[in-house]
Amino acid sequence: MKSRGTVAVSIFLLFLFGSGLTAQQSVIEQEIKAYTSNLPFSMPVIQLPAIPDASVTITDFGAVADGRTMNTKSINDAIRTCANKGGGIVVIPPGMWLTGPIELASNIELRIETGAMVFFSPKFEDYPVPARGNKVTSPIHGRGLTNIAITGKGVFNGNGQYWRPVKKEKLTERQWRELIASGGVVTPDGKMWWPSKEAMNGEEYLKNLRKNKKNPTPEETAGAKEFLRPTMLDLVGCNKVLIDGPTFTNTPGWALHPTQCENLVIRNTTVTNNWWGQNTDAADISACRNVLLYRNVFDVGDDGICMKSSAGSDPKREFALENVVIADCIVYHAHGGFVIGSNTDGGMRNISVKNCTFIGTDIGLRFKSARDRGGKVENIFVDGIRMKDIATAAILFDMFYEGNADNDPGKVRIPYFRNFDIRNVVCDGAREALFVRGLTDAPIKSVTLTNLSVTSKQALKMENADGFTLTNVWLNFKSGPVLTVNNGKNIQLHDVTTAAKAELFVRAIGAGTTNVQVRKSDAAAAKQDVELAPEVKPGAVIVK
């Protein structure tokens, strides 16, 4: 006879597993609840995918882990067969698995086990040009799916060296010589290496093709196939998505690119690329809603964690990207640790970034856009960021991405950035503590920066800024004024102190500069408190 305790445990286990809820899912749900509670905006409940507990292994469908056999058919047959039976787990066991593109399906978890490496074919003919889009088929892709997961501690290797160009300026002389010796071609100016002549000429080929035909066929576009680098993981219009544990490396272009997805969780995931890897962003979250990224590690050749939106995503929505939480992530090399833009024309709001570490990124917090790429970006909350050895600005707002002209009347999609709250930031090593450059007719508005401690070469620079409040800021810098403000207004500095006596506290230029207030700060200790350019009205800067 079973004891009452044994019966109770049996009933509990029956409930737990019979309901389709695994112990791991329960843990993740509790973590989601913790990370999305007490936010400064209303966050919907994020729903995890519900995957049936049936499972198959790719070896059941003929896959061979010898690093030579092409396993595209075996892997995709396993996914389709499992999906046709209602879904479940497709297991990639330890081994070296060569494959072409993998197409995901609804109700499927693709589990790559520890010791497994999936590396993607170097043959361009294995990547068809789809009917839509400007890239070849991605190594891992899915469109319009529900309940999908990619889990496990294995590795996906994109064989990106067969796709990516390399800029000479990013390599040492020895690396450059070795790259040229490996094959490929170099541009006539000697500044860029390409894997093939077709890849090098692809952009010009497409430009000429589209002059004569607005919507070329996939067959016509295929003439530039070697130029049309795919994103590593491309998910479009998917709901209830979990990425948990894998490593994505050596990607042809962007690594993780969910677009128009909802209920998206990325946790415990690693992305690594050589720092000279062209356009190898780690995670580009595009026009998605209800998103959580946590405990991820990224070390890449372009942006780390990046938010994007596009007006074409869903014209009915004012904000194409909204309700995003990022926490407990580490970014090593990247163009930016946390990034917004440059494409913001679809609008963004309600983003929280907490407790992240950036080491060796070009920029720490990078908010970028430009005319004809811009839209509304608001309600951005950043709290608890540690940075070390940042190449340029610790915090940057720049609406002149890629040098776009400020007053081009033909560019109408204007970026409006407002309502940013940034607090508890420590940075040891940067070129500038803060760099702000808005547009003349669309200044960056309503930004609060609280509890900052920054060691840098230069301090604070603002141009076309309106409504910036800095409170309890400590600056250790080598040269220049504490604040250089150009056409800025409603700027308040409270308790801004410096490690050493500054030569100049505020340099004000631009006729539009007005209502700059410095209170309870080290202005009196500076050799000169205020320097006004001739065009600045007397009284525009007040020191108390």
Is the predicted pLDDT of residue 90 greater than 80, yes or no? Answer: yes
How much of the chain, in percent, has pLDDT values that exceed 90?
A: 88
Q: What is the pLDDT of residue 402?
A: 81
Q: What is the pLDDT of residue 17?
A: 36
Q: What is the pLDDT of residue 405?
A: 61
Q: What is the pLDDT of residue 133?
A: 61
Number of H helices, E strands in the chain: 6, 41
- Write out pLDDT tens, residues 483-541: 999 999 999 999 999 999 999 999 999 999 999 999 999 998 999 999 999 999 999 99
For residues 360-380, give the mean pLDDT: 97
The predicted model scores a pTM of 0.94
- Write out pLDDT tens, residues 108-134: 999 999 999 999 999 999 999 987 767
Is the predicted pLDDT of residue 84 greater than 80, yes or no? Answer: yes
Contact 113, 96 (CB under 8 A): no
The helix (H) or strand (E) run that includes residue 181 is helix 173-181
Cβ neighbours of residue 483 closer than 8 Å, sequence gap 6 or more = 459, 460, 461, 462, 491, 493, 505, 506, 507, 516
7: Cα separation from own chain's centroid: 49
Classify residue 72 by burial, with Cβ atoms within 10 Å: 0-12, 13-18, 19+. Answer: middle
24/461: higher pLDDT = 461
- Write out pLDDT tens, residues 19-32: 334 778 899 999 99
Is the predicted pLDDT of residue 9 greater than 60, yes or no? Answer: no
Q: What is the pLDDT of residue 481?
A: 98
Q: What is the pLDDT of residue 406?
A: 65
Q: Provide the mean pLDDT of the chain.
A: 94
Which amino acid, residue 73? K
Is the predicted pLDDT of residue 198 greater than 80, yes or no? Answer: yes
Residue 7 binned pLDDT confidence (cut-offs 50, 70, 90): very low
Residue given tokens 């409940």 in the structure block: 45
What CA–CA distance (Å, rounded) separates 180 from 194?
Answer: 9
Is the predicted pLDDT of residue 216 greater than 70, yes or no? Answer: yes
10/441: higher pLDDT = 441
Q: What is the pLDDT of residue 315?
A: 66
Residue 240 binned pLDDT confidence (cut-offs 50, 70, 90): very high
Spell out the domains of the chain, with CATH numbers in brackets. 304-479 (2.160.20.10)
Task: Give whole-number Cα distances, 70 to 56, 124, 126, in Å.
Answer: 19, 14, 10
Going by the DSSP 8-state scheme, the letter that residue 475 receives in this structure is E
Which amino acid, residue 442? A
Cβ neighbours of residue 132 closer than 8 Å, sequence gap 6 or more = none
Q: What is the pLDDT of residue 4?
A: 44
The helix (H) or strand (E) run that includes residue 23 is helix 23-35
Is the predicted pLDDT of residue 105 greater than 80, yes or no? Answer: yes
Contact 455, 432 (CB under 8 A): no
Residue given tokens 């970028």 in the structure block: 368
Is the predicted pLDDT of residue 208 greater than 50, yes or no? Answer: yes
Is the predicted pLDDT of residue 461 greater than 70, yes or no? Answer: yes
Residue 342 binned pLDDT confidence (cut-offs 50, 70, 90): very high
What CA–CA distance (Å, rounded) separates 100 from 250?
Answer: 15
179/314: higher pLDDT = 179
Cβ neighbours of residue 19 closer than 8 Å, sequence gap 6 or more = none
